[in-house]
C-alpha cells in the first residue's frame, strides 16, 4: 500500500517527486502530497484524490532541491486532505511521510504526547510528534529519529525532513518496502524502483530496522543501533517502455495482450542449452525431498496456488496444501516432518505472506518464493526463488502475473515429474497461441460483457475441477474492477444453498474445459437456467456444443486455466469500462498489499 519517494540533488525536486508518485499511484490513490525544503523552510503541498489533483495544488514557483512525497492508501483516518501525507510536527520543524502501520501508536500517544493535539487521524503523525518531542528534550535529530523508531511496533518505511537541515533526508525501514537510488550529484528513495527509473537505474536494497542518511552526495546505511553497513548497488534492468501504457488506453488491456509473450518468455527463461525446461538443481532437490508442499498466497496468487496444487499432485505425485496467508500465520495447522513452503506473490512484498515466512523460517523450515520482482523482500528472505519473468504489472487487477504464476508452477512440478505423458514445453507453446486467439477475440468478448453485465448487480461463475479455481479468479476480477458483486463456485455446490440467490436474469458464467465433468457442469447450467439465470457457457474445443457463447482453442487439459481465464479477464475489463469505472485503479484497492 502507499508509496513514498524522496530526492536530494541539484535540480528542482518538485517534478522529480511528482513524476515518481505517478509511477507509484497503483500503490494507493486516496490522497497525495509532497514536501520540499529550501533556505526559506519546508513547504507542503497535499490534496485528496489522485496525483493529477496534487499537480493542480502545487505552487510551481517554489524552488527546492530536496524533498519527499507520498501517495496514500488509507489505513488510519478517512481519505481527506487533513490525513494526507506529509505530516508535520506541532512545532513545524519536522515533516514525515510513512508507509505501513504502527500497531502501538495509541499507546505511544498516551505515554508521550498527552499535551499535544494531533491534527490528523493517522498513526503517522505520532511518529513525527515523538521525534519533535525528543529533540526538544535535547537529542539530535538523528538520535531522536532512532529513539522513536526503537519504540515503534509494526511496519514502516519513513522519510523525514528537518527544517534546520536543508541537506538531509532521514530514512528508515521495517517490513514495508523501500529502496535508495544512486545518481551523479543526487540520490533518491522510493518504494519501488519504477518510481525513480526516470533518473537512475542504480539501487541499494534496505533491510528491516535499518536507518539511512541521504544527502545529494552520500548515502550512509546503518543498523538501528548505529553500526555502519556496506552494501553494493545493483542495476535495475527495466526499460521505461515496460512501465508505460504506450498506445493502450489502460495498463490492464496492455497487460492482458502481453500474456502470450509472457508464456514464451518464461519458457525461454527456464530452458537449458538442450532445449529442456529446467529449474535450479537446489530447488529441484528441495521439492523432491519435501514430504509435503505448503503453498501460501493471497488473492489472485492464491487462485494460482490452487491450480499449482493440481500440478504438483498430478504431475509429481507430491501432496500439497494451499493456504490463505493472512489466516495461516495465526492459525497454523499441524505440519509434516519435511515441509517446503512455497510463497506466491507478484510483488514479493505481500505483508500477510511475509509474516508467515518469518514464522516458518523461525521453525527451521525451507521456503521458496515465486515472484515477479527480483530482490524483493520475500525473495531475499526465502531460501530459493523462481522468477515469473512477466515484466512490470501496473494495473491493480492482476492478469499476466496470474498466467505467469501458473506457468512457473507447471514448470516446477514438471521438474520433479513422476509419471507424465506430455511434453510441457510444446504444450505451453500451444497454450501461448491459444491465449493469443483469445486476446484477438476481445471485441467478441466485449459483446458478451455488454449482453450479460450491462445492468447486472451480481453474477456467478461456476466450474468443476480446475475450472472451479478459474471461476474464482474470474469472479475476483469482475468484482474488483466493475464493482459487480460476483462469486465463484464449484458447480455441484450450487444446490447446497447458493442457488437460492438465482433469480430472473442473474448472469451465470460456466466453464467447460474438463472432460470428466463436462456433462456435470452442463447439468448445473440447466439447473440455474430453469430458475431464470442468464447463462453464458465458455467451452473448450472438443467439449463445445451448439449454442455455447464462446469456444476457446483446445489445449492440454492441465493447462486450460492459462487460456480459460483470459475471456473472464476481458469480460471483467469491458464490464468495468462500460460502467465508466477506473479500470487500472479501482476504488479501495492497491496493487502491493504491504500491511496486514
CATH number at residue 552: 3.40.50.10490
Residue 204 included in any domain:
yes
Q: Is 536 a catalytic residue?
A: no
At which of 241, 275, 304 does a domain end? Answer: 241
pLDDT of residue 592: 62
State whether 456 and 501 are in the same domain. yes
Over the Cα atoms of the chain, what is R_g?
25
Alpha carbon of 520 to those of 179, 232, 558: distances in Å?
52, 58, 18
Fill in the DSSP letter of residue 314.
H
State whether 22 and 81 are in the same domain. yes
State whether 412 and 527 are in the same domain. no
Per DSSP (E only), the strands in 15-57 are 31-38, 41-48
State whether 228 and 265 are in the same domain. no
Residue 594 included in any domain:
no
The C-alpha atoms of residue 173 and residue 191 are separated, in whole angstroms, by 10
State whether 261 and 226 are in the same domain. no
Residue 377 included in any domain:
yes
Which residues have C-beta within 8 Å of that of residue 558, sequence separation ≥ 6? Answer: 310, 311, 314, 315, 410, 422, 427, 466
Asked whether 596 and 355 are in contact (CB, 8 A), the reply is yes
At which of 366, 390, 421 does a domain end? Answer: 421
State whether 270 and 151 are in the same domain. no
State whether 270 and 159 are in the same domain. no
The C-alpha atoms of residue 481 and residue 460 are separated, in whole angstroms, by 15
- How many folded domains does the chain comprise? 3
Residue 514 included in any domain:
yes
The C-alpha atoms of residue 490 and residue 502 are separated, in whole angstroms, by 15
- Sequence-ordered alpha helix ranges (H) in 173-280: 251-257, 259-269
The C-alpha atoms of residue 396 and residue 3 are separated, in whole angstroms, by 14
Asked whether 16 and 190 are in contact (CB, 8 A), the reply is no
Asked whether 567 and 438 are in contact (CB, 8 A), the reply is yes
pLDDT of residue 393: 93
The C-alpha atoms of residue 37 and residue 417 are separated, in whole angstroms, by 59
Grid coordinates standing for 212?
Answer: 539511512
Q: Distance from CA of residue 47 to its chain's centroid?
A: 25
Domain span including residue 306: 245-421
pLDDT of residue 81: 81
State whether 415 and 446 are in the same domain. no
State whether 181 and 106 are in the same domain. yes
The C-alpha atoms of residue 190 and residue 7 are separated, in whole angstroms, by 9
pLDDT of residue 1: 65
CB atoms within 10 A of CB 402: 30
Classify residue 181 as exposed, middle or buried by CB count within 10 Å of its CB (0-12, 13-18, 19+).
buried
Kind and range of the H or E element at 524?
helix 518-529
State whether 161 and 298 are in the same domain. no
State whether 414 and 526 are in the same domain. no
Q: Is 429 helix (H, G, I), strand (E, B) or coil?
A: helix
Please give the average pLDDT of every successive group of 10 residues along the chain, which has 596 residues: 91 95 82 94 92 92 95 76 89 94 92 88 92 96 97 94 97 92 96 90 93 97 96 84 83 96 96 95 98 97 98 97 95 96 94 94 97 91 97 94 98 91 93 96 96 95 98 98 96 89 95 97 95 96 96 97 98 97 88 59
Out of 2, 14, 46, 309, pick the active-site residue: 2
Out of 216, 442, 479, 591, pick the active-site residue: 591
Fill in the DSSP letter of residue 209.
T
At which of 353, 387, 421 does a domain end? Answer: 421
State whether 249 and 236 are in the same domain. no
Residue 430 included in any domain:
no
Residue 427 included in any domain:
no
Which residues have C-beta within 8 Å of that of residue 238, sequence separation ≥ 6? Answer: 193, 194, 197, 201, 392
- Sequence-ordered alpha helix ranges (H) in 195-249: none
Q: Is 2 a catalytic residue?
A: yes
Residue 71 included in any domain:
yes
Residue 215: CATH number of its domain: 3.60.20.10
The C-alpha atoms of residue 33 and residue 48 are separated, in whole angstroms, by 9
Residue 592 included in any domain:
no
Picking from 410, 346, 345, the residue whose alpha carbon sits closest to that of residue 561 is 410
Amino acid at each position: 500500500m502507499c508509496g513514498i519517494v524522496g530526492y536530494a540533488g541539484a535540480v528542482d525536486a518538485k517534478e522529480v517527486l511528482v513524476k515518481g508518485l505517478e509511477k507509484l499511484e497503483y500503490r494507493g490513490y486516496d490522497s497525495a502530497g509532497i514536501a520540499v525544503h529550501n533556505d526559506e523552510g519546508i513547504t507542503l503541498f497535499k490534496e485528496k484524490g489522485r496525483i493529477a489533483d496534487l499537480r493542480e495544488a502545487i505552487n510551481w514557483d517554489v524552488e527546492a532541491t530536496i524533498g519527499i512525497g507520498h501517495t496514500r492508501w488509507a489505513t488510519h483516518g478517512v481519505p481527506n486532505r487533513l490525513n494526507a501525507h506529509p505530516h508535520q510536527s506541532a512545532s513545524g520543524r519536522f515533516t514525515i511521510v510513512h508507509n505501513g502501520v504502527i500497531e502501538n501508536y495509541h499507546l505511544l500517544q498516551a505515554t508521550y504526547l498527552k499535551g499535544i493535539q494531533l491534527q490528523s487521524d493517522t498513526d503517522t503523525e505520532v511518529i513525527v510528534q515523538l521525534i519533535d518531542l525528543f529533540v526538544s528534550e535535547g537529542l539530535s535529530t538523528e538520535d531522536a529519529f532512532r529513539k522513536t523508531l526503537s519504540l515503534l511496533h509494526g511496519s514502516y518505511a519513513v522519510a523525514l525532513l528537518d527544517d534546520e537541515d536543508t541537506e538531509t533526508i532521514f530514512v528508515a525501514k521495517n517490513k514495508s518496502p523501500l529502496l535508495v537510488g544512486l545518481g551523479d550529484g543526487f540520490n533518491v528513495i522510493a518504494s519501488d524502483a519504477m518510481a525513480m527509473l526516470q533518473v537512475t537505474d542504480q539501487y541499494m536494497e534496505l533491510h528491516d530496522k535499518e536507518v539511512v542518511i541521504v544527502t545529494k552526495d552520500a548515502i550512509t546505511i546503518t543498523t538501528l543501533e548505529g553500526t555502519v553497513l556496506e552494501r553494493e548497488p545493483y542495476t535495475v534492468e527495466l526499460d521505461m517502455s515496460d512501465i508505460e501504457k504506450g498506445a493502450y488506453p489502460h495498463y490492464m488491456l496492455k497487460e492482458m495482450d502481453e500474456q502470450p509473450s509472457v508464456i514464451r518468455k518464461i519458457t525461454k527463461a527456464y530452458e537449458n542449452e538442450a532445449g529442456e525446461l529446467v529449474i535450479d538443481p537446489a530447488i529441484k532437490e528441495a521439492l523432491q525431498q519435501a514430504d509435503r508442499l505448503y503453498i501460501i498466497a493471497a488473492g489472485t496468487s492464491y487462485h494460482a496456488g490452487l491450480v499449482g496444487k493440481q500440478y504438483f499432485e498430478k504431475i509429481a505425485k507430491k501432496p500439497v496444501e494451499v493456504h490463505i496467508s493472512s489466516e495461516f500465520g495465526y492459525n497454523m495447522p499441524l505440519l509434516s516432518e519435511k515441509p517446503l513452503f512455497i510463497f506466491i506473490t507478484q510483488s514479493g512484498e505481500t505483508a500477510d505472506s511475509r509474516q508467515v515466512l518469518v514464522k516458518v523460517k523461525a521453525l527451521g523450515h525451507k521456503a521458496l518464493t515465486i515472484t515477479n520482482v527480483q530482490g524483493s523482500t520475500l525473495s531475499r528472505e526465502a531460501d530459493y526463488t523462481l522468477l515469473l519473468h512477466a515484466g512490470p504489472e501496473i494495473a491493480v487487477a492482476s492478469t499476466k502475473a496470474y498466467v505467469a504464476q501458473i506457468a512457473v508452477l507447471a514448470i516446477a512440478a514438471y521438474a520433479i515429474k513422476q509419471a507424465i505423458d506430455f511434453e510441457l514445453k510444446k504444450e505451453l507453446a500451444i497454450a501461448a497461441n491459444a491465449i493469443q486467439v483469445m486476446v484477438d477475440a476481445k471485441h467478441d468478448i466485449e459483446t458478451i460483457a455488454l449482453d450479460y453485465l450491462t445492468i447486472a448487480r451480481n453474477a456467478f461463475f461456476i466450474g468443476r475441477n480446475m475450472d472451479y479455481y478459474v471461476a474464482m479468479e474470474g469472479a475476483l476480477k469482475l468484482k474488483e474492477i466493475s464493482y459487480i458483486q460476483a462469486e465463484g463456485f464449484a458447480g455441484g455446490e450450487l444446490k447446497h444453498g447458493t442457488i437460492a440467490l438465482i433469480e430472473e436474469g442473474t448472469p451465470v458464467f460456466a466453464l467447460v474445459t474438463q472432460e470428466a465433468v463436462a456433462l456435470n457442469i452442463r447439468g448445473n447450467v440447466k439447473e440455474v437456467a430453469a430458475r431464470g439465470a442468464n447463462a453464458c457457457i465458455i467451452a473448450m474445443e472438443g467439449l463445445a456444443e451448439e449454442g455455447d457463447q464462446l469456444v476457446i482453442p483446445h489445449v492440454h487439459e492441465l493447462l486450460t486455466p492459462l487460456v480459460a481465464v483470459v475471456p473472464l479477464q476481458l469480460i471483467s475489463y469491458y464490464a468495468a469500462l462500460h460502467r465508466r469505472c477506473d479500470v487500472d485503479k479501482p476504488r479501495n484497492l492497491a496493487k502491493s498489499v504491504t500491511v496486514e
